[in-house]
Amino acid sequence: MADDVWLVVGLGNPGPSYARTRHNIGHLVADELAARTGSTFKQHKQVKSEVIETRISGLRTIIAKPRSYMNESGGPVAGLLKFFKVDPANLIAVHDELDIDFGVLRCKFGGGDNGHNGLKSLRKSLGTGEYYRVRFGVGRPPGRQSPADFVLNEFSSTERKDLPFAVDRTADAVESLMTAGLETTQGLYNS
């Protein structure tokens, strides 16, 4: 395994109908990282994902968006790790988190899945939960709305006003994890 290679995976669902939903925050952050490097996603020939091979702060980085549904993300992510020879300890998964208020970040290494189907799929396919997570808070659904419906809806008009800043800050946190490490990143971005 190549220690200096990072795999950054933005979790989400494929297709335009999901593009601006809460569940696709990972894709939005991956798009921001791609824009920063001036790169364009290309369909990977062997793994069901869109990928970019680039450098972030001098580090070889693979940015990916699995082209599977969230609850089937594990297969493509496992395939990417194998293809690019990346250790799971150099994986950063960016995903939505219901138990955190909108726009609040929590960066961590390892831990449970907290009912998140994308993370459950990763754990099943990778055989471990020992990888970095950048958890983007989307908050709890209002009233009696089901969590599944809530994350598959678009951000509210109020949230959309702050979304570009929040996505930018999340991309900053991903870069910080790679260059400054977990403790420094948590001090800067876990709010």
> What residues are annotated to the active site?
23
Q: Is 90 annotated as a binding residue?
A: no
Residue 108's H or E segment, with its range, is: strand 105-109
Own/partner long-range contacts of 164-171 (Cβ < 8 Å, ≥24 apart): 166/102, 166/103, 166/136, 167/25, 167/28, 167/29, 167/32, 168/32, 169/105, 170/25, 170/29, 170/32, 170/94, 170/105, 170/134, 170/136, 171/29, 171/32, 171/33, 171/36
* Rounded Cα gap, residues 63 and 86, in angstroms: 12
- Residue 131 annotated as binding site: no
DSSP code for 52: E
Q: Is 69 annotated as a binding residue?
A: yes
Q: CB of 134 within 8 A of CB of 169?
A: no
Which residues line the annotated binding site? 18, 69, 71, 117
Which residues line the annotated binding site for tRNA? 18, 69, 71, 117
